[in-house]
Structures are given as structure tokens and as C-alpha cells.
Amino acid sequence: MATVTFKNDIVCNLAGNEVNVGDTAPVVTVVNSNPMLQDEQVGGEGKVQLVIAVPSLDTGVCDAETRRFNQEAANLEGVEVITVSMDLPFAAARWCGAAGIENIKVCSDFRNKDFGNAYGVLLADGPLAGVLARVIFVVGKDGKVAYKQVVPEITEEPNYEEAIEAAKAAANA
């Protein structure tokens, strides 16, 4: 079972089916915050997706990460950028409006935790049990995982440049 840490002290296990580079990306449905409550598909063939899992938009690190990817998405041609959290869609919509998020889809896995379980990024224990770990996937046009970044310490930001380059490479493949 994969793990991450919280505040460099608490080890948190990740639940679900671990998905790695080269694996077929599971096709799951999450709930979009704009348009409100519309189903959104993660995974599948035919398009490149940069999928960003975060614990909650209402934290400083998740806020900064989502804003950064929103800025980067403006220059990512041929890449659909989706952030997934456990936030309710109503709260996510309010946050997106206040943050000026326009270039990415912000979705929730609150209903059934399908994304967290299918991709193996659901925190199984610890103080944040039930939310998503900080993980980034790039799903290529062939429906396979082309890139995966698990941020080992949940309170730290990811390597943005590496994720963006992986998304660009997948879009140009």
C-alpha cells in the first residue's frame, strides 16, 4: 500500500487500486462544479487529460496549486485540465468564482469516491482520512497513464514544471 505523510510526521496509507505509468487509466465519473452537478469523465481515450487530485480547495497549498494550474492551462493546447477534490460542488463553485478559475474544470469525488478508489489516491487513515492525496496524472490520447506524480508530503506543492512538460509531451505524441 502506498503512503504519504502529513506534516512530515503522520504516515497516511492510500486506499484503492494503485495506478501507474503505462496502465490503462480507469474511466470514472466525478461531479463538475461549473456547470453545477454535471457529470465529468476522467480517463478514457481520445484526449489528453492533466488530472490533479487535491485534498481540499479550502487549504493554502491546494488553493495555490489550483490557481497555478489554472494559469498554466491557458497555454496548454490540446490538454483538458481537471482538478478533483472531495469538496462539495457548491463550495468549489464559490471558491472558483472568488479565485477567478476559468481555464480548468474543478470537480468533486464526494458522491462515491470512485476516482480516489479507482486511482488509489484516497487517504485511508490519519487526520485527513477520506480526502484525496496530492497526486497528478497525465492520461494520454490512448487512455493510458503517461505520467504520475505522488507528492510525498501532503502539505507541499507538486513539481509543476515536470507535470506541465509531461502534459505537453502527451499532447504532442
Q: Among 68, 78, 88, 75, which residue's Cα sits nearest to residue 136?
A: 68
pLDDT string in tens for the chain (173-residue length): 799 999 999 999 999 999 999 999 999 999 999 888 899 999 999 999 999 999 999 999 999 999 999 999 999 999 999 999 999 999 999 999 999 999 999 999 999 999 999 999 999 999 999 999 999 999 999 999 999 999 999 999 999 999 999 999 999 99
- What residues make up the domain containing 123? 3-171
Q: How distant, in Å, are the alpha carbons of 53, 70, 103, 137, 158 from that of 24?
A: 18, 26, 26, 12, 23
Residue of 12, 62, 96, 107 marked catalytic? 62
CATH code for the domain of 155: 3.40.30.10
Q: Is 62 among the catalytic positions? A: yes
Please give the tally of structural domains in the chain.
1
